[in-house]
């Protein structure tokens, strides 16, 4: 039987760009504590539930998908490179998920951005060769999956991982409250230059849209593993906490995959310069 450690954490491109580590000191310290716990847990497999920012999946957007082979994009000062995806294992897992009623997309040769790369860089040693299973959850391109369906999907992923008999690190990445200017419209053909221009033009407003009250309420619900509240908050995330808050769907999926025990909040910090409420919460191995 597999054992799990689950880490759900915000990501932000600004964190990578701030190479000197000036901003987000509380969040960075919390992440460092979790990184040490991950090292003690010593995972044999990492499963990342991540969203996409209309890069890897722009014109055709899977509701749920697994990556058979792909790379990480170089961005924000962070190097890119290949992902150590165990293709035969991922194929078997995908077949098992499909057998349980989810029509799963399978992606090949995609370049994933900081939604996947940042948590891997922050939580694992620099030279880590732990196999990684990237699982995409549509959090940015409406229509989005219903939160209840996301929860059920995560539960099914946990079922197919259970017989592997490995130490598995589950990661949910994204959120909490934020409204990235590049996602305020539904264009799917933007260049990176257009994205940067939108961010610069909308940065001042976006920096004022972090919602600490909403973020803390979501973290408290994670601490109780109050699924009803989590699903309700995710359902209304755009209206109450910005389009980027939809990424908490990855937290719900990762949490459902790893069981039903409550989480422990390790840190929270609203970082207006990153236009994001930065939180991290952990279950198991803590």
* More confident site: 197 or 160: 160
Residue 132 token pair: 């990684």
Question: Is 170 within 8 Å of 258 (Cβ atoms)?
Answer: yes
Between the CA of residue 47 and those of 31, 115, 142, what are the distances in Å? 18, 13, 24
By CB atoms closer than 10 A (0-12, 13-18, 19+), residue 156 is buried
Residue 204 CB contacts under 8 Å (≥ 6 apart), including other chains = none
Global confidence as pTM: 0.96
Give me the domains of the chain, ranges plus CATH numbers: 3-175+246-270 (3.40.830.10)
Q: Is the pLDDT of residue 279 over 90?
A: yes
Percent of the residues in the chain that have a pLDDT greater than 90, as a whole number: 82
Residue 127's pLDDT is what? 59
The pLDDT-based confidence of 126 (bands split at 50, 70, 90) is: confident
Gap between the Cα atoms of 172 and 19, Å rounded:
23
Give the pLDDT confidence of 223-268 residue by residue, as tens digits. Answer: 999 999 999 999 999 999 999 999 999 999 999 999 999 999 999 9
- In this prediction, residue 114 carries a pLDDT of 93
Which residues are known to be catalytic? 114, 178
């Amino acid at each position: 039987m597999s054992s799990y450690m689950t880490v759900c954490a915000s990501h932000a491109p600004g964190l990578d760009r701030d190479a000197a580590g000036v901003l987000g000191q509380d969040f960075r310290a919390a992440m460092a504590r979790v990184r040490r716990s991950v090292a003690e847990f010593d995972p044999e497999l990492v499963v990342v539930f991540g969203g996409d920012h209309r890069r890897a999946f722009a014109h055709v957007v899977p509701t749920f998908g697994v990556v058979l082979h792909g790379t990480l994009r170089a961005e924000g000062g962070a190097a890119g490179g290949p992902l150590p995806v165990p293709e035969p294992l991922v194929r078997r897992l995908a077949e098992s998920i499909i057998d349980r009623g989810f029509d799963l997309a399978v992606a090949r040769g995609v370049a994933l951005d900081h939604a996947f790369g940042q948590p891997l860089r922050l939580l694992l040693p620099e030279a880590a060769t732990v196999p990684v299973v990237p699982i995409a959850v549509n959090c940015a391109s409406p229509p989005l999956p219903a939160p209840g369906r996301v929860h059920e999907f995560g539960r099914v992923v946990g079922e197919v991982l259970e017989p592997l008999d490995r130490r598995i690190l589950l990661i949910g990445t994204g959120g909490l409250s934020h409204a990235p200017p590049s996602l305020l419209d539904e264009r799917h053909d933007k260049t990176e230059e257009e994205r940067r221009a939108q961010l610069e033009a909308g940065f001042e407003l976006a920096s004022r849209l972090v919602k600490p009250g909403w973020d803390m309420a979501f973290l408290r619900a994670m601490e109780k593993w109050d699924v009803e509240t989590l699903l309700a908050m995710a359902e209304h995330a755009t209206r109450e906490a910005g389009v980027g808050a939809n990424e908490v769907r990855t937290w719900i999926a990762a949490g459902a995959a790893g069981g039903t025990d409550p989480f422990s909040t390790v840190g929270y910090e609203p970082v207006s310069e990153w236009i994001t409420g930065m939180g991290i919460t952990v279950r198991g191995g803590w």
